[in-house]
Amino acid sequence: MANESLRSLISRAKAGDQSALNEVVQRFRPLIRKYVRQAPHKDAHDLEQELTLRLITLVRSYREELPYGFKDLVEKELRKTNS
């Protein structure tokens, strides 16, 4: 699964494949942690959970016909959630 495309993983995750969803979350874990490191230490755990849930919501609602890629969408939404 490590070489599988993000598009394929998202498609499988949207169809209910939990292992594909887990892989998407793992691929974005470094980005999530980047934002968590910017938060006060006391809020870090809660923020990581909130951002992970936001990522899962984005996976489930993503539409390929959008004019921007999934990675761009995630970065934008994580920034917004972290503000």
* Domain that includes residue 53, residue range: 6-82
What is the rounded average pLDDT of the residues 5-31?
Answer: 95
User: Is pLDDT above 70 for 74?
Assistant: yes
**Which tens digit of pLDDT belongs to each residue from 22-71?**
999 999 999 999 989 988 899 899 999 999 999 999 999 998 877 678 98
Q: Is residue 24 part of a domain?
A: yes
Q: Is residue 1 part of a domain?
A: no
Q: Check residue 53 and give its pLDDT.
A: 95
The total number of structural domains that make up the chain? 1
What CATH number did the domain enclosing 34 receive? 1.10.1740.10
Q: Which residues contact 56 (CB under 8 A, 6 or more apart)?
A: 21, 25
Token readout for 15 is 């169809």
Is there a contact between 27 and 6 (Cβ–Cβ < 8 Å)? yes
